[in-house]
Amino acid sequence: MKHSLTRKGGVRPLLSELVINWHITEACNYRCRYCYAHWTGNNRELVHNVPGTMQMLENLWQYFHPQNVANPLRQAMDWKGIRLNLAGGEPLLYAEHVHRILTDARRIGFNTSLITNGSLFSLELAQQLAPNLSMLGFSLDSGISTTNRQIGRQSRHGQLLAIEHLQEGISAARRRNPELQIKINTVVNASNCHEDLSDVILKLAPQRWKVLRMLPIVTNQLMVSDAAFQEFVVRHQALGDLMCIEDNTEMVESYVMIDPLGRFFQNALGQSRYRYSRPIPEVGAAQAFATVGMDPAKFCARYLGALEKVAA
Ligand code: SF4
């Protein structure tokens, strides 16, 4: 773990980048039963508001910029850069907005990444988006059609994601940007916990495979037991160099997260709802962040572990 020196001679963990996750929309073409992408509030999602989006990006940059010593997180850790990660819902329902936000964020100085369910990813989008991304992530829980249907990973018309389609998209994105890191996110849940995903993961050859335990915040559907989750991890031990494992305790209060209305939010075990700040474009990032907080120790542990895996 890298460290930096404080003015008083102490040490702080030094991250290569601080990651801010913006869930740009709640809308999705899939209906996963465990989905936690549900937020309160009926206002229009910020992604459709071009000046509001720009203002939020600038607010975030000013507040989380690595040189801003006024950021209270700096008492616990340092970071060299900021990565804006776009997630959903399914962000590629608004592919043009995604392209615009990624372009603006890069111009401001952010590193950028995107997480998608892959169903709308095309060769054209690979061409358009890959140059503006340092990481491209796909959520994938199974290579088996019946499991995907049980989970709800299908469109309204019953269309499923084909692994070959994903492979083609990933290859095109890698050709366009050879520096691009590919990540697969798998939520281990009651439907897929007995499966072996090794072949699928090896086919897609990501730099990182994030294995998350289904988190019972918004719903308990498809919850998985401790034993079944551990068995899944052990079954895939041969892929240990790629795997980043997140059990539920590592997943709470360890992310910087923004909802579709531009509010910071935070999850907490034992609470059935998220906590929210006021919208960032209204009150600024400092005031909004102060009301939700985050656990810097958990954040550092998760990101340092993950980044070491990518670097390996
Ligand atoms: S793909 Fe993601 S956002 Fe869409 S329903 Fe599934 S978990 Fe929710």
State how far the Cα of 70 lies from the Cα of 75, in Å rounded to an integer. Answer: 9
User: For residue 78, what are the contacts with CB-CB under 8 A and spacing of at least 6?
Assistant: 4, 12, 13, 14, 15, 66
Residue 5 lies in a domain: no
The pLDDT assigned to 193 comes to 97
Residue 7 maps to a domain: no
Among 3, 6, 23, 14, CA closest to 66: 14
- Inside any domain, residue 102: yes
**Of residues 32, 29, 18, 36, the one with CA closest to residue 85:** 18
Model confidence, pTM:
0.90
37 lines ligand 1 (CB under 6 A): yes
Quote the pLDDT of residue 306: 52
Q: 35 alpha carbon to ligand 1 midpoint, in Å?
A: 5
What pLDDT shows up at residue 48? 97
Predicted pLDDT at 310: 41
What's the full length of the chain, in residues?
Answer: 312
CATH number at residue 200: 3.20.20.70
Residue with tokens 């366009």: 176
- Whole-angstrom CA distances from 52 to 24, 82, 111, 162, 277 are 13, 20, 20, 36, 16
Residue 202 in domain:
yes
The CB of 260 under 6 Å from ligand 1? The reply is no
Is 297 part of any domain?
yes
CA of 206 to the centre of ligand 1 (A): 20
> What is the chain's Cα-based Rg?
19
CB 279 within 8 A of CB 261: yes
Question: What is the number of structural domains in the chain?
Answer: 1
Mean pLDDT in order along the chain per 10 residues (312 residues): 63 85 97 92 94 98 93 85 96 98 98 97 97 98 97 96 96 98 97 97 97 82 92 97 80 76 82 84 94 71 53 34
Q: Could you tell me the distance, in angstroms and rounded to a whole number, from the CA of residue 78 to the centre of ligand 1?
A: 32
Does any domain span residue 1? no
Does residue 203 fall inside a structural domain?
A: yes
Atom of ligand 1 nearest to the CA of 34: 7
Domain span at residue 267 reads 14-311
Please work out whether the CB of residue 117 comes within 6 Å of at least one atom of ligand 1: yes
Q: Is 92 in the pocket of ligand 1 (CB under 6 A)?
A: no
Q: Is residue 160 part of a domain?
A: yes
C-alpha 5: how far from chain center: 29
Query: 170 in helix, strand or coil?
Result: helix
Non-local CB neighbours of 171 within 8 Å, separated by 6+ positions: none
Q: Is 138 in the pocket of ligand 1 (CB under 6 A)?
A: no
